[in-house]
Amino acid sequence: MKLTRILVAAAVVTALTAGTAAAQSTLENVKSRGQLKCGVSTGLAGFSQPNAQGKWEGFDVDYCRAVAAAIFGDPDKVAFTPTTAKERFTALQSGEIDILSRNTTWTLSRDVQLGFEFVGTDYYDGQGFMIRKDMGISSAKQLDGASVCIQTGTTTELNLADFFRSHNMKFEPVTIDTSDQAREAYEAGRCDVYTTDASGLAAQRASMADPSAHVILPEIISKEPLGPLVRHGDNNWGDIGRWVLNAMITAEEDGVTSKNVDEMKTSSDNPEVKRLLGVEGEMGAMLGLPNEWAYNIIKSVGNYSEVFERNVGVKTPLGLERGLNALWKDGGILYSPPFR
C-alpha cells in the first residue's frame, strides 16, 4: 500500500515538473497534435477576418492554411488563435501558437530582443495618411499642427513621431485601441488625419459615406515588411515557414496555379516546377515534409498571386494594386530563392 502511494506521488510529480524529457521539435508536436496552431489578428479587413459562416479568411489566414497543407496535405487542419496586438508575442513565446501570421512588422528588436525569427515578408506595406479633401492639403509635409487618429499597438505610433520630428513639425495624437473607433473619430472630424498602413487606408476610404470627400496623401512614411514569425531556436520549423512562402512565390513565377497544378505536374518540362511539385528531387524530405508539400499548398490554397487577388486584390473591397508586392520581374520586390 505504501509503495503504491509513493509510486503515484512520484508519477504525479514527474508529470507536473517537466524538464527531464527531451523537448519535441515543433514539427513533431504539430504532427502528433494533428493540427497547426496559428495566431492571427482578431479582425483586420482582408488579412484575417471571420466571415458570416464562422470561418476565418484573409491573406494572413491563407498563409496558415498553406503551412497546414504543406504538413498535412489538408489546409483545414489549422486551429486559429485570434490574438490582440498586446498578447501576440507572449502567445508565441509561451508556445501557445506554433506560428504567428498577424501583419507583424519585421524589425530588428522583434527579431533579436524578443527571441523570434521572421521567416520572410509576405506583404510589403507602408504607413500612409488620409485627410479630408476640403482641407486643401496635398502633402504630409503640410500637416504641422494637425491632430492625427492612430490605432494603437503597432509600429504606427513610432513612425508617426519620427516623421513629424524629422520634419520639425508638431501634431496631436489621438491614439485609440481599435480601428473602428479610430476611423469613426476621423470621419466625425475629431482628427484631421487618419494614419495606418496603406493597405488599410484604401478599404477605409472606400467604405466612407462619401469616399470622394477624402484623399490619401502620396507620402508613405515607413517601411512595413509584414511577415510570419516563429520562435528562435527551432531552425527546421523556421525553414518550413520560410519555404512555404517561397513555394507560393515561386509557383506564381513559374505560372503554377491551383487550376493548372495537376496538368503542370504531369506535363511541365521546367525542372524547377518539377522539383517544386515533387516530381523530381527530395525537397520535401529535406524539410521533413511529404514530397508533395508544395503541390498540396498550390492545389488547396493557391500561389501568391491567387491568395493576394482573392483577399486584398483590386476586385475586393480593399482594392489594392500589387505595387511592391509584385514579382521582381513585374516591377515589384518579391523574390524567392531558387528551388534546388
Partner 1 sequence: MVMSESQVPQDDGSIYYPPGQHPNLPPPPGTVGIIGWLRENLFSSPVNAIATLATLVLLYLAVVPIVNWAVVDAVVSGPDRRVCDLGRTATALGEGIASFSAADYALDPTAAGLSESQAAKARGDQRAASSAFLGIESTLGVFLDRYAATEKAGLVPASLEPVIAKVQPQQLAAQLHDAVAKKNVAAAEEIYGELKPLTDWGSAYNGACWVVVKSRVTLFLVGFYDRDQLWRPLLAFLGLLIAVPPLLFTGMPFRRRLMWFSAAYPLIAYYLLTGVALAHGPLRLVLGALVLAAALVPFAWPGVPARRRLLVFSYVAPVLAVVLFFALGPERVFGFEPATIQAKVTDAMAAADSSLNVGQVVSKPGGLLEQFLSGDLYVLGLPLSPLWWLILIASFAWGLVSVLRQAARRASEAEWRSRRPLVVVVALLAGLILFAGNQVNHDGVVMPTVGTDKWGGLLATLISGVVGISASLPIGIVLALGRRSRLPVVRALSIAFIEAVRGVPLITVLFMSSVMLPLFLPEGVNFDKFLRALIGVALFASAYMAEVVRGGLQAIPKGQYEAADALGLTYWKNMRLIILPQALKIVIPGIVNTFIGLFKDTTLLGIIGILDLLQVAKSTNSDANWIGFFQETYVFVGLVFFSFCFTMSRYSIYLEKKLDTGHRRR
Partner 2 sequence: MAVDLAERAKLGSSLWTDQRFRGLLLQALTIGLAGTFLAFIVHNTAHNLAERGIASGFGFLDVQAGYELKNTLISYGPTNTHGRAFLVGLLNTLLVAGVGVVLATVIGFILGVLRLSPNWLLSKAVYCYIEVVRNIPLLLQIYFWYAVMISLPQVRNAMDLGIGAYISNRGLQAPAPILEPGFSIVPVALLVGILIAIGLSRWAHKRQEATGQRFPSFWINVGLIVLLPVVAYLGAGRPMSFDVPKLGAFSFRGGFTITPEFVALLLALSLYTAAFIAEIVRAGILSVSHGQTEAAYALGLKPRWTMRLIIIPQALRVIVPPLTSQYLNLTKNSSLGVAIGYAELVATLSGITLNQTGQAVECIALTMAVYLTISLMISFVMNIYNRRIALVER
Residues at the interface with partner 1 (CB under 8 A): 3, 6-8, 10-12, 14-19, 21, 23, 32-34, 42-46, 49-56, 79-84, 86-87, 90-91, 93-96, 133-134, 136, 178-181, 183-184, 187, 203-204, 206-213, 316-318
Residue type for 116, please? Answer: F
Q: In what order do the strands lie in the sheet with 171-176?
A: 171-176, 146-151, 193-197, 127-132, 214-216
Between the alpha carbon of residue 250 and those of residues 245, 253, 297, the distances in Å are 9, 5, 12
Binding footprint of partner 2, residue count (CB under 8 A): 48
Which of partner 2, partner 1, none does 11 bind, CB closer than 5 to 8 A by kind? Answer: partner 1
Instruction: Compute the least distance from the CB of residue 46 to partner 1, in Å.
Output: 6
CA distance 230 to 116: 6
Residue 176 binds to partner 2 (criterion: CB under 8 A): yes
Which of partner 1, partner 2, none does 42 bind, CB closer than 5 to 8 A by kind? Answer: partner 1
Residue 164 binds to partner 2 (criterion: CB under 8 A): yes
Residue 42 sits at the vertex; the CA angle it makes with 38 and 46, to the nearest 5 degrees, is 90
Is 38 in a helix, a strand, or coil?
A: strand
Of residues 187 and 306, the one with the C-beta less far from partner 2: 187
* Among the listed residues 223, 229, 260, 259, the one whose alpha carbon sits nearest the alpha carbon of residue 242: 229
Q: Which residues contact 93 (CB under 8 A, 6 or more apart)?
A: 114, 115, 231
* Among the listed residues 1, 15, 72, 66, the one whose alpha carbon sits nearest the alpha carbon of residue 38: 66
Instruction: Compute the least distance from the CB of residue 46 to partner 2, in Å.
Output: 22
CA distance 237 to 203: 34
Instruction: Compute the least distance from the CB of residue 99 to partner 2, in Å.
Output: 16
Q: With CB under 8 A as the contact rule, which of the stretches 26-34, 47-55, 143-151, 296-304 interacts with partner 2?
A: 143-151
* Among the listed residues 266, 260, 278, the one whose alpha carbon sits nearest the alpha carbon of residue 70: 278
In the list 12, 14, 33, 86, the residue contacting partner 2 (rule: CB under 8 A) is 86
Residue 158 binds to partner 2 (criterion: CB under 8 A): yes
Residue type for 281, please? Answer: G
Residue 172 binds to partner 2 (criterion: CB under 8 A): yes
Instruction: Compute the least distance from the CB of residue 158 to partner 2, in Å.
Output: 5
CA distance 187 to 192: 9
CA distance 49 to 246: 24
CA distance 153 to 166: 22
Q: With CB under 8 A as the contact rule, which of the stretches 183-191, 256-264, 280-288, 324-332 interacts with partner 2?
A: 183-191
Which of partner 1, partner 2, none does 338 bind, CB closer than 5 to 8 A by kind? Answer: none
Task: Judge contact between 304 and 326, C-beta under 8 A.
Answer: no
In the list 13, 189, 210, 338, the residue contacting partner 2 (rule: CB under 8 A) is 189
Which of partner 2, partner 1, none does 235 bind, CB closer than 5 to 8 A by kind? Answer: none
Residue 259 sits at the vertex; the CA angle it makes with 256 and 264, to the nearest 5 degrees, is 45
Contact map string, positions 229 to 258, toward partner 2, x by CB under 8 A: --xx--------------------------
Instruction: Compute the least distance from the CB of residue 300 to partner 2, in Å.
Output: 33
Output the nine-digit C-alpha cell for 12.
504525479
Which of partner 1, partner 2, none does 21 bind, CB closer than 5 to 8 A by kind? Answer: partner 1
Task: Judge contact between 126 and 154, C-beta under 8 A.
Answer: no
Instruction: Compute the least distance from the CB of residue 156 to partner 1, in Å.
Output: 15
The residues that touch partner 2, with contacts defined as CB under 8 A, are 19, 85-87, 89-90, 93-94, 109-110, 113-115, 135, 143-147, 149, 152-154, 157-158, 160-162, 164-165, 171-178, 181-182, 184-185, 188-190, 192, 231-232
